[in-house]
Structure 1
Amino acid sequence: MKLLVIGATGRTGALLITKALDEGHEVTALVRNAKVDIDPRVQIVQGSVTDANAIANAATGHDAIISALGVRSISETPTLITDMVRAVIASSKISGVNRFVLLSAFGVGDSLAKASWIASTLFRTMLKKVYADKANSEQLLIASDLVWTLEYPGALNDHAGKSYTATELDNVSKLPLVPATSRASVADFLLRSAVDGTFIRQIAVVTDKK
């Protein structure tokens, strides 16, 4: 497959592109700085992730867009994810690429009701603004015509070699007090969903097995 990755320079994005390339997929990365340190096998396109035309130009001829974009400073870019998703939606009308897999987080939207009181407190306080941006972006995405998938991992870690479970949000009944997910698991799910066409127009809660 030909995949356009947004957020390719982050820790999860880097794992994603390496995995995709190792499996023989063609990967394009949309980045702000063309001199960024990234896997040399990647085709680099410079542009803003909130610019629909830039995304469309990079996505044309590809099979799917995957976003592992994170927010480094919520005070500086309080609507980054919402603006990116809005641009991806608009870009599909130009590029014709409508498959979109988006990394979000457990605790966003309806998943908050399934969180433990410990996790819920964290989501409502320290992560309130970050999660508000994600929730707003997902309202736009769900209302769009895109063939989307949302991934909700738990607290991210760098453990390697973990197996994981992916469960549609409505079917989640029991989770640890603070669910955890390795970045490797997150990256694998993003790739698998894009390549295999799983969890179409669904939210998948992805957590590592103990």
Structure 2
Amino acid sequence: MALAFTLADGESTLAPALSHLAVEARSLVNGPATTTAGPCWTRRLDGRAPHEAPHLAARRDTCTAFGAKPSRTRNSAEALVRRVLTDAGLPRINLLVDLYNAIGVAHPIPVGGEDTDRINGTMQLVRSTGQEPFATVAGSEETVEHPEPGEVVRYDDEGVTCRRWNWRQGVRTRLTEESVNAVFLLERLAPMTIGELEAAGAELVEWLEKLSPGARITVGTPE
């Protein structure tokens, strides 16, 4: 599949240090969540609140520049770290989702997972017009919402797959127990280094290979 991550109309100036890493995997093994030991996500924040960690603070600043309210719509890594620090633990969804959530908390870095069999065409990071459909669940019922105009979203040829950059994923491309082909997207902003981003990707690959010995995995930078 072709992966493109662009900000429309020159908006890349809002995140000049943004870098992506894509881990694409085929023939994965997925299934129900278990309590089997996984990657160590108990990293220290040196007594700081999650939003004070340098990389997460940088994401807050960038989201504010996009017009989002980071205290209300936290990025996935900050939300998960907060959950862990309150002893709630990580949510149990399925093997693959639990894995990338653990990687996200361990580093900490937003990590997303998409079922490539459900992605339609090219995926981009763009500013919404407000007209794109976003398939989600509200009150236990599937429904379609629309982002706010100007909101930064992840989008393919069919609609929005994730709102407010990496706040809320839709139901269409999420990883389910039946998913066998996936792309995992890791992002970093300064002061996180490229090396730290690559280390997070390497740990993800290591655990994917343990869960799915026969998987075909490639790592690269989206075009």
Flag whether TM exceeds 0.5 (same fold). Answer: no
Higher relative contact order, chain-length normalized (CA < 8 Å, sep 6+): 2
Normalised TM-score (structure 2):
0.23
TM-score by length of 1: 0.24
Higher helix content, 1 or 2: 1
